[in-house]
Structure 1
Amino acid sequence: MPRTRALNSVQSLTVLITGAAQGMGELFARQAAREGAARLILWDINEPLLLELARELGQRHPGLTVEPRRVDLCDGQAIGDAVRAALQGGAPHVLVNNAGLVTGQPFINHDTAQIRQIMEVNTLAPMLLTRKLLPGMIALEEPARILTMASAAALVSNPKMSVYAASKAAALAWSDSLRLELERMAGNQVSVTTFCPTYVKTGMFAGVRKMLLTPIMEPQQVTDRAWRAMLAGTPLVLMPWTSKLGQMLRGMLPRVAWDYLAEHVLGVYRSMDGFTGRKSATGTDAARPEDVR
């Protein structure tokens, strides 16, 4: 299947990032600005942090147009309104589906609202947003990119991550299937990258336990790798290398052997035992839009 041309940077391009106010989304926004993006569309539900970032980037990069917007990704109408506003300045060349939610608790403790919210933000929002933007991105007839931040949780079952893992598994399956469809499209210049890291030190997974041979990664390290993969049009990235090893062992070993290894040796099944998550202003750890991982 044909591959699109690699991009060296996003210089002079339009970039749209969800979950852009903090964490990895903020790092993606700063990277785009440093590379000389012409237009930066930043969405987040945390409006004060978003506006603060937009003001800073505008001051540091005088040639950059920054368009911050508060968007609730659980609201399909809000997504539609925000897309129409963004398209007034033309279709983006780069879409970063970064926003995400997590709850770290047994499935039986989830209420209906939490389940729905996690699936809407992690799975449905990237689908709806990409569907609305894709025709315009294809019509650009020049290299364009979609980066979807999934998770290693999409690949390995884990206690206290049932809903999050399900949402990311769906996002991964959708994103890579979309990649295949676009690679079959004659003349298409839109590439899709799906990125699956393990735990990242953004605060979203505060309290998780380190797994054997698998560090809790630094946000800059992860965003740098994801950004390079996006520019190159790399289809799928698992990070770190132990994710690939885990996939191989899980496929080769009998289920009982893998479960023992994951529970008692690698520590995968115990990694969420100390999870607290990033605290909200009220001191609770309820699911809310953040950066992913």
Structure 2
Amino acid sequence: MTGNAASQAWSSHEGAAALAAPTSAEKRRAFDWRILLGFFLPIAVAVLWEGAVRLGLAQGRLVPPPSRILATLWGLAQSGELWTHTWMTLWRVLVGFVIGAAAGIVLGALSGSSKTIRQLLDPTLQALRAIPSIAWVPLFILWLGIFEASKVALIAVGVFFPVYLGIAGAILSVDRKLVEVGHVFRLSRVQLARRILLPAVLPEAVIALRSGLGLGFMFVVAAEFMGASEGLGYLLVDGQQMGKPDQILAAIIAFALLGKIADSLLVAGTKPLVRWQDTVRERL
């Protein structure tokens, strides 16, 4: 009798869970709604500012209305300038990100897994991290010249530090009990790293890579101030020198869209690596 009651209770629990679990169609609808919700704030601000300028409540000289900014973007796209500048910026960020992220992963893994290496490297790297990005510009120009090598090096420096800190911190924050379980099951160092350390580190490693990519787009602006003739940073400088606030804001919007697309691609590319996670975010 007790067994039948427990079985019935468990069946009712499973039924309730099945009813509570959202269907795939519901998930798709919720996902689509969240995408639309993300556009609400920028569109609302744009509409309000456009209305304020058209009604004469604001001049729109230093901050042009969205219609003028979109017209500038359209003109740059039609002439081909927008695609040339966007591609050059994207290429610099991509190369700098690969170099900086690779160095950050390797040194972060070494620093996190070895106390001796950490004591050797970490103080120097923490001191270098405090140096402002613009301070590297004259040194890189002196060492590497004013062309692409110095720009890529500056971006790689910006990417390196968040990735290094994220990887080293993720390894150091792995639960000691998980490692002890690996020792109990007599796992080798390679098996321990593959089965325990790597899954535990991956979620924070993805966050570190996203932070590094974001800083890469920040550092590319400083890099393109170094005598560049192409790139979205060049559009910013050209707009400032020629007194074109619509071109400056168009370049800023292009930066924002390019950065968001790159971040989304990074998240999508790394999602299979952390698919095993059962977090609150996956259920909301």
The answer, yes or no, to whether TM exceeds 0.5 is no
Which TM-score band applies after superposition, normalised by the shorter structure? under 0.3
Larger % of helix: which?
2
State TM-score, norm by structure 1: 0.23
Considering only CA atoms, is the larger Rg found in Structure 1 or Structure 2? 2
